[in-house]
Amino acid sequence: MDTRRHFLKGVLASGAAITTAAVAPPVCARETHNRPADALGLLYDATLCVGCKACLTACKTANGLAPEFSTADHLWDTPLDTSAYTFNLIKMYRNGTMETKDAEVNGYAFMQTSCMHCADPSCVSACPVSAMTKDPVTGIVAYDPDACVGCRYCVVACPFGIPKYQYDSPTGKIGKCELCRHRYKDGHYSACAEVCPTGATLYGKSSDLLAEAKRRIALKPGSLTRYPRGRISGPDQSYEAPVGKYLQHVYGEKEYGGTQVLKLSGVAFDKVGMPNLPPTSSAATSETIQHSLYGGMLMPIAVLGVLGFIAKRNVHDEDDSAGNGKGEK
Ligand code: SF4
Ligand code: SF4
Ligand code: SF4
């Protein structure tokens, strides 16, 4: 019994010594990361979208994704939401008589849904095995199925509900848009932008796309302008068309610390399914909390302190018992 008591007292003494010796460094709040200078992305302009869903079909073809049926006849690929087999979806907003496109009242509008390629992605921050990574040059948030352990932390962490798990497979993986990075080596780019007939989905450097988005919202509704198609810096495929009614808001410029996929709309973004998000990423907040707790070994020392307190109390209890003649001889 003496041995056990000495051991516990030793633990207490060591804990106290470590606590005294440890000097916690000042904890700095981690800033939200910015987009890389050459970040790549998409600009989706809902006022140009005609809802043809060519982008959805091209995305499936480019990524070898199986169709998903929501009708009894199983004739058409009709996914109702993004999934591990549908990385890009066009959703529709409807109100009242649906007479006017891009009008909130008695109108209708489209909105595209896919990975936003956040400047500071929480899926990357949450992944314990670095299966989700952000390229330091292009900023593309990529997924490595070989590294993935299927924990689905990324699914929970994403504020846009984008990474989806293959629940129908015993060795399920995550599915999400990787900006068609596998097509670049053949001179291609995002399939959704390549096929979009109106340029509603446009591919390019995020900085160029942001400048183009700001140019558009500054134009007078009804005036004529040229809209590029395909890639913003590629061969000229532009056409002239009247300017729609834009909200004075480029979604993704600031939301969540900025995203590489940007959006324009005539209908309030929260009405077309885009979440209201602060200008900081939750990755910055959670990593700051994590580093505050573990910085300078504060959390482990606190845990050791609590364990020490419990051990000390038990040793006292034992001593008291021994003193009462009920304990060891
Ligand atoms: S291909 Fe272009 S116009 Fe057609 S649904 Fe997609 S974004 Fe809209
Ligand atoms: S939208 Fe979601 S999955 Fe895509 S980069 Fe941002 S956090 Fe990750
Ligand atoms: S960039 Fe490629 S993977 Fe992403 S939504 Fe477009 S077609 Fe699909």
Q: Give, using CA atoms, the residue closest to atom 1 of ligand 3.
A: 179
Q: Where do runs of H (alpha helix) occur along the chain?
A: 2-21, 54-63, 122-126, 153-157, 191-195, 206-218, 282-294, 298-323
Among 194, 41, 199, 53, CA closest to 112: 53
State the pLDDT confidence band at 287, using cuts at 50, 70 and 90: confident
**Residue bearing the bigger pLDDT, 24 or 131:** 131
Q: How confident is the model at residue 166, as a pLDDT?
A: 97
Q: Of ligand 1's atoms, which has the minimum distance to the CA of residue 198? A: 3
Ligand 3 contact, 141 CB (< 6 A):
no
Among 98, 47, 100, CA closest to 245: 47
Please give the DSSP secondary-structure letter assigned to residue 127: -
Q: Is the pLDDT of residue 48 over 70?
A: yes
Tell me the mean pLDDT in the region 57-74.
96
**Nearest ligand by distance to the CA of 134:** 2
Tell me the mean pLDDT in the region 163-174.
96
Q: Is the pLDDT of residue 3 over 60?
A: no
Per-residue model confidence as pLDDT tens digits over 171-229: 999 999 999 999 999 999 999 999 999 999 999 999 999 999 999 999 999 999 999 99
Contacts of 122 (CB under 8 A, 6+ apart): 157, 158, 159, 281, 282, 283, 286
Ligand 3 contact, 177 CB (< 6 A):
yes
State the pLDDT confidence band at 320, using cuts at 50, 70 and 90: low
Q: How confident is the model at residue 30, as a pLDDT?
A: 82
**Nearest ligand by distance to the CA of 264:** 1
* Cα 43 to ligand 3 centroid, rounded to whole Å: 12
What share of the chain has pLDDT > 70, as a percent? Answer: 79
Ligand 3 contact, 86 CB (< 6 A):
no
β-pair partners for 202: 43
Given the DSSP bridges, would you call strands 201-205 and 40-45 parallel, antiparallel or unpaired? antiparallel
Structure tokens belonging to residue 147:
């590294």
* Cα 132 to ligand 2 centroid, rounded to whole Å: 9
111, 176, 192, 201, best to mutate for ligand 3 pocket (most atoms within 8 Å of CB): 192
Q: Is the pLDDT of residue 327 over 60?
A: no
Integer-rounded Cα Rg, in Å, for the chain is 28
Structure tokens belonging to residue 133:
């990574």
Q: Is the pLDDT of residue 55 over 80?
A: yes
**Residue bearing the bigger pLDDT, 12 or 104:** 104
Q: How confident is the model at residue 16, as a pLDDT?
A: 40
Q: What does pTM read for this prediction?
A: 0.83
Ligand 1 pocket by Cβ (under 6 Å)? 49-55, 90, 110, 112, 195-198, 200-201
Between the alpha carbon of residue 76 and those of residues 62, 67, 196, the distances in Å are: 18, 8, 20
Ligand 3 contact, 88 CB (< 6 A):
yes
Q: How confident is the model at residue 306, as a pLDDT?
A: 55
